[in-house]
Structure 1
């Protein structure tokens, strides 16, 4: 994949995420996609395959009344890409972890992507 194709695919994924359009998000990922979320060095979420990612994505849609990821910087090679991400979200309802309805979260992190067959094959979110 060219750098332009990689960036366009990631932009398509991020835009779908921001719109809470799970179907459009899944169009950008490989059937065997692997997703990991790592916070403070600990893997707190891991899925394998499009169906597991779909379940996770549908669950996360309900958690936030608003959410937005913005790419701050971007680097890519033929099979990998890395993006610094700013994340902002508003909690939809009180959550068991102590977050309260209406609370705004602002985080920064990095997302790493790998590709296969012209699709995103691996996503690792680090914060």
Structure 2
């Protein structure tokens, strides 16, 4: 079972993320936050610590003119929470993979969170 407090922390993270509120995101993070992004089964991004995560979040916020992360379902797995997600974003820049400013991206996947000491200590995004 997922505690009310854990769900609230994750919901606050999603709200800050969708609002491009980097300061709000950072307030929710454990000082030793580990972030990993997996695409097609491989890690393509990893950060450790609040400062590295903040830098990534600031860079990422400039890539999109709008974005919306929506949690479809939560499940508890060991000491983590798995959230099934829908994601959509509108690009604000051209990307090396051929996507252009104004293009829409839509993804389905999951995000895995671990909470320690009332803060998010792990985020793993899978798409």
What residue in structure 1 maps to residue 43 of structure 2? 43
Separation (CA, whole Å) in 1 of partners of 2:76 and 2:113: 9
Separation (CA, whole Å) in 1 of partners of 2:19 and 2:49: 22
Q: Normalising to structure 1: TM-score of the pair?
A: 0.95
Within the alignment, does 1:27 sit opposite 2:30 as a pair? no
What residue in structure 2 maps to residue 92 of structure 1? 92
Separation (CA, whole Å) in 2 of partners of 1:72 and 1:32: 27
RMSD: 1.2
Aligned residues: 126
What residue in structure 1 maps to residue 108 of structure 2? 108
Q: Match of 1:99, SS?
A: coil
Structure 1: 4+ residue segments shifted above 3 A: none
What runs of 5+ residues in structure 1 fail to find an aligned partner? none
What residue in structure 2 maps to residue 53 of structure 1? 53
Q: Report if the CA contact (8 A) 1:86-1:107 is conserved.
A: yes
Within the alignment, does 1:4 sit opposite 2:9 as a pair? no
Within the alignment, does 1:82 sit opposite 2:82 as a pair? yes
Q: 1:79 to 1:88 in 2, by over 3 A?
A: same
Q: Match of 1:11, SS?
A: helix
Separation (CA, whole Å) in 1 of partners of 2:79 and 2:29: 14
**Deviation at 1:78?**
7.8
